[in-house]
Amino acid sequence: MGCRPTEGRAAVQGLSEVEPGWRALPEGRTFSPEFLRLREQAFVWLQPYYDGRHLTRAADWMLAIAPDAPEHLVLAALMHDLERSVPGGPVLDKANMAWDDLAYNTAHTHRSAEVVSGWLRDQGALEAFVQGVQQPIREHEFGGSPEGDLMQAADSISFLETNGELVSTWAVRGECSAEKSEEKLRWMYERIPGLTRARPWALPYLERSLDQLRRATAAVSD
């Protein structure tokens, strides 16, 4: 499952009026040439990644939730899971481990911070970007700081928008139970920080993902 631009655009379905456009930047805001260069290069990097739409939309939702989000935070959202594109990372046993397993999520977020900042350094990025992405990426699963809370919100709403089908296949293939798949979707919704406006925005995407899961598992048991 790649992330060619045409495929990705299909992720934008107009399910709610706040839904950002595919790779849209806020009107009237000027971005630095360095940011725009790194963003384009990141799109190339995440293209072969299995969940590239989710990453793209996390950055889109970041700018919908916080149109003035600093550039390093938008880049952090865009690449926050990419340690998974590098073999040798931590593995979550979906059937037997909690979705909020502290050891797994800490290993995942810290490794992503290392991988992404290393990649930025390889692109010749300014040190402000190399350093700036690290803490928000470390906080994307659990939040913590204002930037970390925004990461958690953008990650969650993007996940619910783009990954209903993926979570359904876990249950259909027996990687975990249907109940465990449902738990994942509900966790992604409930963990959205209450102070951001993203939680009500995420509700239609949670409901659609739950519906996809119900249909997929009902089709298997028929």
- Binding interface with Fe ion (CB under 5 A): 81, 155
Taking Cα atoms as reference points, which of 55, 38, 39, 51 lies closest to residue 122?
A: 38
Least Å from the CB of residue 141 to Fe ion: 6
| Sign, Cα dihedral of 161, 51, 71, 112 | positive
Nearer to Fe ion, 35 or 104 (CB): 104
Nearer to Fe ion, 130 or 160 (CB): 160
Task: Report in angstroms how near the CB of residue 54 gets to Fe ion at its nearest.
Answer: 6
Q: How far is the CB of 40 from Fe ion (least distance, A)?
A: 21
Residue whose CB is less far from Fe ion, 39 or 53: 53
Query: Toward Fe ion, which CB reaches closer, 132 or 136?
Result: 136
Instruction: Find the DSSP H helices in the chain.
Output: 5-9, 33-46, 52-65, 71-79, 102-122, 127-132, 134-138, 146-162, 164-173, 178-190, 198-221
CB of 193 to Fe ion, least distance (A): 15
Cα 171 to Cα 53: distance, rounded to the nearest angstrom: 21
